[in-house]
Structure 1
Amino acid sequence: MSRVLRASAIMAAGTMVSRVTGFVRSAVLVAALGSAQMGDAYTVANMIPFILFDYLLGGVLSSVVVPSIVRRQKTDPDGGRAYEQRLMTAGVLGLVALTVIAVLLARPLIGLYTHDWGQERIEVTVTLARYLLPQVAFVGVGALAGAILNTRDRFAAPMWAPVLNNIVMIAVLALYYVKAGPAGADVTAVSGSDLTVLGLGTTLGIVAQCLVLMISLHRAGFRLVPRFDLRQAGLGEMAKAGSWTFLYVTITQLGFLVTTNIASAAGDKAPGAGNTAYSQAFQLFQLPYGIIAVSVITAMLPRMSRSVAEGDLTSVRDEFASGVRLVASLLVPAGVLLMVLGPAVTVLIYSWGNNDPANALYIGSVLQVFGLALVPFSLFQLLLRVFYAFGDTRTPVLIGAGNTAVSIALSFLAAAVLPPRYVVMGLAFALTVSYVAGTAVAWRLAARRAGGLNGRVVAAGLSRMYIAALPAAALALGVLWITRELADLTPFNAAIMLAAGGGLGMVLYLAFAQRMRIPEVGSIVGMVAGRVGR
């Protein structure tokens, strides 16, 4: 038990520090590049390596690769060592080949994700992409190393290595800002040497992350011995097992392709309202989910899987309902407060350096729309784990296809009817609607599979949580109105809004939830009070 608790503490601490340093990195990034054309160019160039990684390896890593390694560790005479070496050899060869091809095809790859961009911005984006695309190999090798480490119960390095990447990136972006000055946010004025610092520096951060993982893997007993008898690596078997997962990645990336192109076109017509605004708002939106929901989801899946294996569907239903209520007890007020205080969050983080404060405010408007999606998005992820507990990877793909279709249709509608300045907000709303619809469909199918999901209990709990959150929302709105009446929204005023509206609002929510005897909130308050009292 102590070993499990220690591992959980290491993962939680690493995740929290990674998130904090990641947001410092995002703030410095926007300060150095702005959130208009230069920021959009970097955002598009830097996302392509990770898209390619997802296609080759990311989508099947946890669903296929990790179970295969664990199985070979138990069945092979050498504890799976040769299998791991074959897998790493195949991964390195495939990733290097993909990287070389991607660098050669940098220009058409950029063309897939941009729309109506001027020639100067295209050239800057392509130049950055050629520096950034080698990240594919290092991200992939690092992910394989992390997977092998996890199968050996080594969790520290995979959780903490991204922190080193963030620290390197913060230093690189600070150097870029000092070196380039205001020209660093202007695609027509940025120099080739500045792009070299930015591109190679970003890749250096990923290299450092990969090296940490490989060193940790070496210390765990793994030896990188090339093995070219790849027929025994089971690549065909893994490809077959991961076919549904690969299809899911393809579908989601199609939706992302549409979103990126529409955001690119909007940002070209309304600088500051393009890809950077969307990606930064989405990253902030993911923070409550990453901190609150992911740990619950991680714990839920093995317990529900064991209950399914034992034929105990009652425990599956109870586990799911308990997980939903626990996650929602904090995500409901978080989503409500994001809808009110989104601009205060982004003005505090992004109103620095080369970024226009008006563009920082716009990111907050997008974040407000994303706040609507926080609970549906998290509930959807919880529902997918019900299917995975039953060993069903096909149904999530079909639901995901429906989600993507709804999102694409609404995204095109937003691009057609909204002024360019509001298109990205429309994209955020399209995502919200798609997850509301996806959650409704997933709930119906999962309830049929599990013989019910305690829907009335969950609905009653969520209703009470939203009622308890109303006073918090009113308080936050009041603080927002008073502060805006007295002065403009500056970073200092934004900090006051967040402390008074957000901090006191959350305290007010907890107080009302306690009075309404919402058990999950009572448990959280009791746990925190117990730790403080020690």
Structure 2
Amino acid sequence: MMAVGTLASRITGFLRSVILVAALGTAALGDAYNTANTIPFIVYDLLLGGILTAVVVPLLVRARERDPVYGRQYEQRLFTLALTGLAVMAAVAALLAPLLINIYGSDFQGEQRDLAVLFARLFAVQIFFLGVSAFAGAILNTRQRFVAPMWAPVLNNIVICVTGVTFLLVTTGKVTPESITGTEVALLATGTIGGIAVQTLALWPSLRGSGFRWRPRFDFRRGELGQIGGMAIWTLAYVVITQAGFAVTTNLLNAVGVQGRLEGVGNVGYTPYFNAYQLFQLPYAIIGVTVITALLPRMSEHAAEGKRSLVRDDFSAGLRLATVVILPAAALMFVLAPDIATALFAHGQTTRPDALVIGDVMRMFAIALVPFSAYQLMLRVFYAHSDTRTPALVAIVTVSTNVALALVLYNTLPTERVAMGIAGGFAVANLTGTLVCWLILRRKLEGVDGRRIVGTNLKLAVAIWPLIGFAYAAHAVSDAAIGPGFPASVVALVVGSTGGGLLYLVFARLLRVAEVQTLLSTVTSRLPGRS
């Protein structure tokens, strides 16, 4: 149910991206909106998001194990503290909107910059709703209720889809930062903020059903805030490091977008990169986030009990199961990237050449998919041990690699290839982080079950080639028979992914990949008529 909920969330997220690209395009208006709408997520992650993931879940699990009554009171105090902090964060972010736009879009000028600042001020209130939604999800996860947080984003996506369609209906011709009206700005802001508000409110029935009743409490006991602060300071360091890297790459991409329009090479800046990243996140979210969400409370319990071997088993099983789905998804994304981009984005204000830029960037992200997923899962092993220091130190290596490559590629590649190059640098950086984490975890866990993990991945690496060959043939034949465009892309996607996926499953089973059988058995047991 978690995976299905995440799939529904990401499919509607797909639709949301498609509609917004059609409505706003990939030029100046799209860059202004997407940059401003990314800032609340950045500020939230910087100040609270990482703390929720790395600190709150393990602390709540430990508090409840120690004393159920104390655990409930501790939840109340943390929730009260979070609400207060979130309200302050949102207000400060709105005041600092011009500075934030300078950080992430320093090359924005004139009407584009004014519009981005206005959007950033309006969107700042999302920080509050993001935090409440995430904290509610963390509480539900510690109570073994995983489904609602996976399904709630669907409502957010639906609201924004309706907003995008309405925007298309009420506007005529190409909308730019110079021509957009106050009513159109209000429509976009209302829909964007309303979506996250609806997502947050949708979690409340599940919270009440789990027995959670919020009463404001500020009566923190001696040492509680110090315990949170001691863990949070390294988490904050990790988030600061990663967000500093993101600020550099976002600023470079926005500069490339401005330069690309001046040189006449097309829309090659932040918006193509942003949408390619959204598509890249789909397979990771469906299986990677699902596995991580289910494993973190369990690993935290095993770590608290000192059962190192069980933590190692949890990690190994999660990584192998995730790779079974993520590896073929990465292969299909790489081969069929032009078809995915054309089918989804070559509509409205976005031309096919604009969409193909997204496809080129997506290919680089496809290379990053497996190491990124492994890296994220490895970080949760440290968090399960209440170790937030190691992820921060590893992040220095990862982000430094990412930023160094981004700067080199920005200064050496042609303008139209910079976004693609920065995505490739992201892949190299995550591979570096994965290797560093692997070496550290081998010592921490006295082994990481490397033989089984490597053995499974070698078998999957063999099983993936029939999928790659079939998908490439479907792409080539459809282009030759129908001609490049939307119909050929849809045919290539349907035939290539279906046929390639079946071949992958057949070869994986012939190679006796146990995780494939586990996955198939789990899915078929949930089908109607099966027990």
Shift in Å, 1:479: 1.8
Q: Where does residue 203 of structure 1 map in the other structure?
A: 193
Asked if 1:245 is matched to 2:245, the reply is no
Verify the 8 A CA contact 1:345 1:498 in the aligned structure 2. Answer: yes
1:61 corresponding residue in structure 2: 52
Matches of 1:306 and 1:216, distance apart in 2: 23
1:165 maps to which residue?
156
2:289 matched residue in structure 1: 294
Deviations 1:152-190 (A, max 9, x none): 455454333222211111111111111123343x22221
Contact in 1 for aligned 2:232/2:388 (Cα 8 Å): no
Residue in structure 2 matching 1:264, options 239, 254, 261: 254
Give the Å deviation of 1:524.
Answer: 3.4
Distance 1:163 1:426, change over 3 A: same
SS at 1:427 equivalent: helix
Residue identity in the other structure for 2:241: I
Matching of residue 100 in structure 1 with residue 91 in structure 2: yes
Q: Report the residue type matching 1:138 in the other structure.
A: F
Mark the CA change 1:325 to 1:72 in structure 2 (over 3 Å): closer, same or farther: closer
| Aligned CA distance change for structure 1 residues 187 and 524 (closer, same or farther; 3 Å) | same
The 3-state SS of whatever aligns with 1:504 is: helix
Give the match for residue 36 of structure 2.
45
Q: Spell out, residue by residue over 1:45-90, the C-alpha distance to the aligned partner (whole angstroms, 9 max, x if none).
A: 0011111111222111133234444555566796556554444443
- Residue 360 of structure 1 deviates from its aligned partner by 1.2
Aligned pair partner of 1:489 in 459, 476, 484:
484
Question: Kindly tell me: are residues 378 and 225 of structure 1, through their superposed partners in 2, closer, same or farther at Cα, counting changes over 3 Å?
Answer: closer
| Structure 2 counterpart of 1:126, from 117, 120, 125 | 117
1:373 alignment partner, SS class: helix
Task: Tell me if the contact between 1:83 and 1:233 (Cα under 8 Å) persists in the aligned partners.
Answer: no
Counterparts of 1:163 and 1:259, CA distance in 2:
29
SS of equivalent to 1:116: coil
Distance 1:217 1:495, change over 3 A: same
User: Structure 2 unaligned runs (5+)?
Assistant: 261-265
Give the 3 Å change call, closer, same or farther, for CA 194–237 of structure 1 in structure 2: same
Alignment correspondent of 2:165: 174
Tell me: CA distance 1:313–1:165, structure 2 relative to 1, closer, same or farther (3 Å): closer
Equivalents in 1 of 2:406, 2:41: separation in Å?
23
Corresponding residue SS for 2:132:
helix
Q: State the partner residue of 1:334.
A: 329
How far is 1:110 from its partner? 0.7
Mapping 1:130-529, distance limit 5 Å: 130-184=121-175, 186-214=176-204, 216-217=206-207, 222=212, 224-227=214-217, 234-270=224-260, 271-301=266-296, 304=299, 313-528=308-523
Q: Deviations over 1:80-106 (max 9, x none)?
A: 565544444433332222222221221
Alpha-carbon deviations, 1:228-254, whole Å to 9, x = none?
556879444322221111111111101
In structure 2, how many angstroms separate the alpha carbons of the residues matched to 1:96 and 1:526?
Answer: 46
Structure 1 residue ranges without an equivalent (≥5):
1-8
Instruction: Decide whether aligned partners of structure 1 residues 233 and 128 sit closer, same or farther in structure 2, where only a CA change above 3 A counts.
Output: farther
Structure 1 residue 412 displacement after superposition: 0.3
Distance 2:295 2:69 in 1: 32
Q: TM-score, normalised by structure 2?
A: 0.90
What letter is aligned with 2:398?
A: N
Deviation at 1:140, TM superposition (A): 1.9
CA contact (8 A) 1:176 1:198 kept: yes
Q: Alpha-carbon deviations, 1:432-486, whole Å to 9, x = none? A: 1111122222212211222233434433332221122112211211222222223
Higher mean alpha-carbon deviation, 243-252 vs 233-242, is at 233-242
Checking the alignment, whether the CA contact within 8 Å between 1:407 and 1:431 is kept in structure 2 is yes
| TM-score under structure 1 length normalisation | 0.90
Q: CA RMSD, aligned part only?
A: 2.7
AA aligned to 2:344 is I
Aligned length: 524
CA gap 1:161/1:531 in 2 versus in 1, 3 angstroms:
closer
Give yes or no for contact 1:87–1:233 (8 Å, CA) kept in 2.
no
Q: Per-residue deviation at 1:519?
A: 2.7
Determine which of 31, 36, 43 is the counterpart of 2:22. Answer: 31
Superposed CA offset, 1:392-448 (max 9, x none): 322222111100000000000110001111111011100111111222222122112
Aligned-partner SS, 1:280: helix
